[in-house]
Amino acid sequence: MADRYIQLSQGHLNLFSLCPRKFQHAYLEQLGSAVSLEQYAQQQWGTRFHQLMQQRELGLPIELLVQADVQLDRCLTAFLQAAPDILTLDPDRPAQRFRQSEHQRSLTANRYLLVVVYDLLIADRYNAQILDWKTYARPRNQRWLEDNWQTRLYPFVLAETSPYAPEQISMTYWFVQSQAESCDRVPEPQCLRFPYHTAAHEKTRHDLNGLLSQLSNYLERYQDAKEPLPQIEESQGHCLTCPFARRCQRQYSPHPKTANLVSDPTAEDTAFPDLADIAEVVL
């Protein structure tokens, strides 16, 4: 690893922040974990929704996708009603307006390559909007999402790799399944918008440098002395639902719905709906 950049996403940062030992098992050792059939179905549906939105943005046919999935059709219809200003494709928009689905950017930081994927990026001369589709319910605790590394890293990378000042950037989550609870009325918009600013940008820079420095120290000992990354205190309660708890000799209490499991060797983490466990969808 020392001879090349180590690629990190927001999911990796969340995972390392949550538990370095879990990061070791999932990312360094590439150990697979298990997901319930319910979680697997949710992940598959999320992938289909992102594919739908990307094809629609590219002007490709989407009829076969929505015809095969009634829920997908309902969610798209409700989403279009809730956010016509951002989702309605207008051929008369100014040519200088930038709009791209699944837009990827990267930023090097020491030995790391930080990679972000925006579900939709809309920008003009004055502002840039990062939009992200979430296929789970809107969280009740907004602060939980505000502190998440996705909310912090996405605008940070854009500010560092573009002419936009932090104050010109915003990050908005749309919780698409919340849109289609009723076919009898136009649903209320279900979104959370986080404006960005210079103070938040500098705090993210400070916290990111500290986190990556800590990771570098752990990796050096892991590679040179085979020293495992630290565990978190069991009293925090995260071990109860962690798929690696037994490997760490910790108590484990799986959810009753995980009786039927599907192996997912590529998952960074699978304890839904923690954002640390939900990677960017790259199509």
Q: What stretches of 125-250 show up as alpha helix (H) in DSSP?
A: 142-146, 149-160, 198-224
260 belongs to a structural domain: yes
pLDDT, residue 275, reads 36
Q: Which residue range is the domain that position 160 belongs to?
A: 6-277
pLDDT, residue 258, reads 46
- Are the CB atoms for 119 and 101 separated by under 8 Å? yes
pLDDT, residue 97, reads 81
282 belongs to a structural domain: no
Structurally, the chain folds into a number of domains equal to 1
CATH number, position 255 = 3.90.320
158 belongs to a structural domain: yes
283 belongs to a structural domain: no
Residues 6+ apart with CB under 8 A from 147: none
Digit-coded pLDDT (tens) for 122-180: 999 999 999 999 988 787 788 889 999 999 999 999 999 999 999 999 999 999 875 44
pLDDT, residue 282, reads 42
Measured CA angle at 95 (ends 94, 100), to 5 deg: 105
- Are the CB atoms for 155 and 114 separated by under 8 Å? no
What size, in residues, is the chain? Answer: 283
1 belongs to a structural domain: no
In which element (H, E) is residue 172 found? strand 169-175
Query: Omega of the bond prior to 273 within 30 degrees of 0, cis?
Result: yes
CA proximity to 233, closest of 214, 216, 251? 251
157 belongs to a structural domain: yes
3-state SS assignment for residue 108: strand
Quick count: other Cβ atoms within 10 Å of Cβ 147?
13
pTM metric for this prediction: 0.84
The whole-angstrom separation of Cα 130 and Cα 239 is 33
Give the chain's residues under pLDDT 50. Answer: 1, 179-183, 186-187, 189, 257-283
